[in-house]
A and B are shown apart, each in its own frame.
Chain A
């Protein structure tokens, strides 16, 4: 059974770094791509970036300078790090499994608030 679960801090101070972990089961991160998608409260979805099954990454160019996506294949985990956080980075962060270029399984998401 495919499952993804995000974990991370609920509150981050402005200018600090966000670190979120996606722990997956039911598939291997070396066999399927995994993306991060975020959603500000009450708003739409924004693709943040992806780590491909081969280990390379692609990032949304609007966020690229602040982003890092990596993985631990032994633990079947994918990591998101975003620095220099601002209030507009507040929202729910989802990890999602790819099937080709679309997302067939999503985690429940983790809500992150950027505030002092």
Chain B
């Protein structure tokens, strides 16, 4: 199975701050990466697919980049509604696998 390693496990950011979350795959996943945001008691919501494509309706302050085994999610200006847990997911091979999550809080 492809292992997805996310970092950091948690972080806190001030309003307006730029936040970056990393995801490393155990092998090349050829940009087959998605990012999700999950708020407490809610289901995950798709933010980014194909490593860098923004899902419809997602604010433009979210962006994704990377290739090969290294990927990142950037929030360009932290807002209160961005608090939650963020997961990466690879879609290259079955079983689809997720990172362990990054909990993002407002400082």
Name A residues whose Cβ lies closer than 8 Å to a Cβ of B.
35, 44-47, 58, 60-62, 94, 96, 99-104, 106-109
| Complex: A104 Cα to B46 Cα, angstroms | 6
Is chain B's binding surface mostly helix, strand, loop or mixed? Answer: loop
Contact B96 A101 (CB under 8 A): yes
Known: A104-B46, A106-B45. Is A60-B89 also a contact (CB below 8 A)? no
Report, nearest first, the 8 A-B pairs whose CB atoms are least far apart: A101-B91, A106-B43, A102-B34, A47-B96, A45-B98, A60-B95, A102-B49, A44-B100
Interface size of B in residues (CB-CB distance below 8 Å): 23
Chain B residues, Cβ within 8 Å of A96: 43
Known: A44-B98, A44-B100, A47-B96. Is A102-B44 also a contact (CB below 8 A)? no
Q: B95 is contacted by which of A61, A94, A109 (Cβ under 8 Å)?
A: A61
Closest to A105 in B: B46
The CB with the most chain B CB atoms within 10 A, among A62, A94, A100, is that of A100
Q: A35 is contacted by which of B36, B96, B100 (Cβ under 8 Å)?
A: B96
| Complex: A94 Cα to B38 Cα, angstroms | 13
Contact A45 B46 (CB under 8 A): no
Contact A109 B43 (CB under 8 A): yes
